[in-house]
Amino acid sequence: MSEIVTAAMLVIGDEILSGRTKDKNIGHLADIMTAIGIDLKEVRIVPDEEDEIVSALNAVRSRYTYVFTSGGIGPTHDDITADSVAKAFDLPCEYDDNAYALLEAHYAKRGLEFTQARKRMAKMPRGAEHIENPVSVAPGFRVGNVHVMAGVPSVFQAMLDKVVPTLKTGVKMLSAAVPCPLGEGVIGGPLSEIQKAHPHTIIGSYPKFGEGKFWTELVVRARSQDALEAARKDVESMVSELGAMN
């Protein structure tokens, strides 16, 4: 079987934790990762605090194939992601010549002053590679396996589109849904035994309530069609047998 490729995400920003801003990037990243065969294994939301960002980043970047961050690379005083990533990698954070020239030309074209605040967006860890920003010019960057991107959803999505072709991908996860009119209290035990019997699958159980009764949405996932079908048949048989008893 091909290598399993994994990812983690750091969502950076006090505004997310306070509820002032509702995150829209986690779901988008999860959808894209699933579509290209990368397992998004962990998401952390951290405040605009250097030590917290450094600690979280160092915890995940050694565990997963890729790390994606969103937020904290703008022009304001609390945009400290670039400095924090540089510290995590023990690199100086400095003006990148190409990013500086790109932004300088951008603001000159718009007739706007290239202020110190705007210059902040040209700072990144030494040696970082740019992630193109086709929406608002200021680039994200990549250091090692860490991809640092903006928090604004439209910009995050545009940057991710540029990143995806550079990623190695794994075997895509296949899935099959099994209708189940029974509640989790009925199927929980037998379903656990089926999961043990099919270790190369992931069986999800999602309780639902409608029309005055509980039922369950069952989803079988696997990277092998044979493994998927074998587990699906056992789940269907379980549902049929228990349904006849209830």
Cβ-based neighbours of 173, under 8 Å, separated by 6 or more: 34, 37, 39, 221, 222, 223
Q: What parts of the chain have a pLDDT lower than 70?
A: 1-2, 246
pLDDT of residue 246: 67
Q: Note the Cα 5 to chain centre separation in Å.
A: 13
- 224 shares a domain with 129: no
- 78 shares a domain with 45: yes
- 150 shares a domain with 195: no
The answer to whether 114 and 180 have CB atoms below 8 angstroms apart is: no
DSSP strand pairing (201-210 vs 174-180): unpaired
pLDDT (tens digit, 9 = 90+) per residue, 38-94? 999 999 999 999 999 999 999 999 999 999 999 999 999 899 999 999 999 999 999
Q: Which domain holds residue 35?
A: 5-166
Q: What is the model's pTM?
A: 0.84
Distances (CA, A) of 204 to 75, 194, 242: 43, 12, 18
- 121 shares a domain with 240: no
Phi-psi bin for 45: left (phi > 0), alpha (psi -120 to 50), beta? beta
Q: Pick from 131, 166, 201: which residue ends a domain?
A: 166
Number of domains in the chain: 2
